[in-house]
Amino acid sequence: MVPFCLYLPNIFYTFTTLVNMGYWELWPEKPLYRYRQLTGITCWQLCQQSNMGGSMAYKVQQVLWQEACDQLKTLRKAVYVLEWQLPETTEFDDLDSKAAHVLLFSDQDTPIATGRLTPSGELGRIAVLPGHRTLAVYKLLFAALLKHAELQNIKKIQLQSELASVKFHQAKGFKPVGKVFMEAGIPMQKMVCNRQNFDIPDVRHIH
C-alpha cells in the first residue's frame, strides 16, 4: 500500500493505491489529476476532509459489465431513469458489454458513482448519486476513465451533448462531429476532443 498526501486550502486529499494501476496527484495548475505509474495497483482511494469537520473516502475501481451490472444498473437507473426521466430502454445498450466501466465507492463501500468509456472513445453514462456531486468526485471519475483511454491508446474522446450545452463544450476544446440526432426525444450532438486536452464536461447535459 502506497499513500500519498497533498494539502490544499480547505481540503485534504489522501490517495492510497491498492493493486495495479497507480495513484493520482492533484496539481494546482492542472484541471485534472495527474497519474503516476506504479506497479501492483488496480484501484485507489481519495479521502476528502474539510475544515468543517468530518471526512469522506472514495474508492475507485474499473469493473466489467458482466461482473458488476447490478451495481451499474442501480446507479444509472437512479440518475437517468428516475431523476432524468429517460426511458430504461434508452439507458442500456449493446455497448455496455463492450465498454470499460468505473465504479466509485463511499467509505461505507457503497457504490455512489459510475461512468463508461466505449472502445471508440465515447465517454458517457456518468451517474453520480445526490450528495456526492462534488468536483473532487467528478475529477476522480473522469481521471480513471481517461487513464483507461491512455492505456488503450485512445487519442480522441467523444461525448454526446445536448444542444443547450454545445457552446459550453466548444469553449473547452470539443468540436461538433456529424449531424444532430435524437435520443429519447432529446436533440443531441456528438462532440470530440483530443484526450490530452480533455476538461470536465457539463455533466448535466451529456448522456
Q: What is the CATH number of the domain that holds 38?
A: 3.40.630.30
**SS3 helix, strand, coil % of the chain, rounded to 5?**
25, 40, 30
pLDDT band of residue 57 (cuts 50, 70, 90) is: confident
Q: Tell me: the pLDDT tens digits for 157-168?
A: 999 999 999 999
**Residues 6+ positions from 148 with CB-CB distance below 8 Å:** 62, 100, 102, 117
Q: What's this model's pTM, rounded to 2 decimal places? A: 0.75
Residues 92 and 191 in one domain: no
Torsion of CA 70, 73, 78, 79, to 10 degrees: 150
Least confident of 42-46, 67-71, 183-187: 42-46
End-to-end CA distance of the chain: 35
Residues 130 and 197 in one domain: no
Cell numbers found for residue 26: 492533484
For 109, which DSSP code?
S
Grid-cell match 463501500, residue found: 109
Residues 50 and 71 in one domain: yes
Beta strands 111-117 and 100-105: pairing type? antiparallel
Q: Which helix (H) or strand (E) holds 149?
A: helix 135-151
Residues 117 and 43 in one domain: yes
Could you give the CA distance from residue 144 to residue 125 in angstroms, rounded to a whole number? 14
Tell me: pLDDT of 147 over 80.
yes
Could you give the CA distance from residue 164 to residue 40 in angstroms, rounded to a whole number? 43
Tell me: pLDDT of 60 over 50.
yes
Tell me: pLDDT of 115 over 80.
yes
CA angle 109, 113, 114 (to 5 degrees): 115
pLDDT band of residue 207 (cuts 50, 70, 90) is: confident
Positive/negative CA dihedral, 74, 41, 142, 59: positive
Could you give the CA distance from residue 86 to residue 84 in angstroms, rounded to a whole number? 6
Grid-cell match 429519447, residue found: 184
Residue where a domain terminates, one of 110, 130, 153: 153
Q: What pLDDT, on the 0 to 100 scale, is given for residue 55?
A: 56
Tell me: pLDDT of 123 over 80.
yes
Residues 116 and 207 in one domain: no
Residues 99 and 64 in one domain: yes
**Number of structural domains found in the chain:** 2
Residues 61 and 75 in one domain: yes
- Cβ neighbours, 10 Å, residue 115: 25
Q: What pLDDT, on the 0 to 100 scale, is given for residue 116?
A: 97
Residue 181: give the domain boundaries: 155-207
Residues 78 and 9 in one domain: yes
